[in-house]
Structure 1
Amino acid sequence: MSLPSYAVRVAEDRADRELCFAVRKEVFVAEQGVPEDLEYDAYDAVAVHVLAVREDGVPLGTGRLLYGSAAAEKVGGDLTLGSLGRLAVTQEARGLGVGVALVRAIEDAARALGLAAVDLHAQTHALGFYERLGYEAYGAEYLEAGMAHQGMRRAL
């Protein structure tokens, strides 16, 4: 069985963002039980969203980057940090490198914005994934949306 071909791009229009939100609904709301009112927030309007799609247009994954004042609210006021969040990969696409490609696309977007580092709030089961990508854990574990999370950061 061959791996499906996919592309990762910045979500440029409303249709792309709707695909991003559909992936988040599938992964976070339906699969993990995150309430919709917690999953979608005002930051969605100002974030850079990235999207992984198959050749036939089916979405496989998404993530978002907050920067400027939106990120500063999440990372303690530091305007040089971006905040990676809402990284989600559909069940069918897990293990195909989609998550890595999304993280690298978010990091590229952060570099293009002149940011010095990317911060994130990882679900603790995903710590190893982010560590393999160069992220380092900091601070104490905490609960977010009822799930254990850990702060992580990577210099660009």
Structure 2
Amino acid sequence: MTRPSYVVRVAGDPADREACFAVRKEVFVAEQGVPEDLEYDEFDAGALHVVAVREDGVALGTGRLLHGEAAVGRTGGDLSVGSLGRLAVRKEARGLGVGVALVRGIEEAARGLGLAAVDLHAQTAAAGFYERLGYTGYGVEFHEAGIAHLAMRRSF
């Protein structure tokens, strides 16, 4: 079976952003049971969103980067650190490297903004994925939207 070809890009227009939100709704709201009013927040408007799009235009995954003042609450007040979040890959695209490509795309965008590191709140079940990408956990496990998480960071 041939793997589908896809590109990861910054969500630069309203259609891309809608595709990001649709993937998040499918993965977080429908699949994981996160309440919709918790999934979408005031940070979405100013965040940098990335989207993985298959060659036929179907969105396979998404993630976002908070930076500047929007990230301060998640990074301990450090303006040189961005916050990676809302990483979601549709079931049909898991195992194809989409998640890795999205993380690397977000990191590239963070470097382009002059950031020195990226923090994230990993679902505990996904911590190993982020560790393989160079992230290190810190602090104690906590819950967001009823799901266990671990804070992690990767410095550039």
TM superposition score category, shorter chain reference: over 0.9
Shift in Å at residue 107 of structure 1?
A: 0.2
Determine the C-alpha separation between the residues in 2 that align with 1:105 and 1:6.
13
**Aligned mates of 1:116, 1:54 — CA distance in 2:** 30
Question: How many residues of Structure 1 are paired with residues of Structure 2 in the alignment?
Answer: 156
Q: Please give the TM-score of this superposition, normalised by the length of structure 1.
A: 0.99
- 1:81-92 correspondence runs (5 A): 81-92=81-92
Q: Could you list the runs of 5+ residues in structure 1 that have no partner in the other structure?
A: none
- Runs of 4+ with >3 A deviation: none
Aligned mates of 2:74, 2:134 — CA distance in 1: 20
Q: Structure 1 or 2: larger helix share?
A: 1
> Identity across aligned pairs (percent)?
76
**In structure 2, how many angstroms separate the alpha carbons of the residues matched to 1:143 and 1:7?**
32
1:138 corresponds in structure 2 to 138
Report the Cα offset of residue 75 of structure 1.
1.4
Match of 1:17 in 2: 17
RMSD, aligned CA:
0.4
SS at match of 2:4: coil
3-state DSSP of counterpart to 2:87: strand
SS in 2 for 1:4: coil
- Structure 2's unaligned 5+ residue stretches are none
How far residue 76 of structure 1 moved from its aligned partner, in angstroms, is 1.6
Q: Measure, in 2, the Cα distance between the counterparts of 1:74 and 1:111.
A: 18
Once residues 103 and 29 of structure 1 are traced to their aligned partners in structure 2, the CA distance between those partners, rounded to angstroms, is 21
Preserved CA contact (<8 Å) 2:74 2:119: no
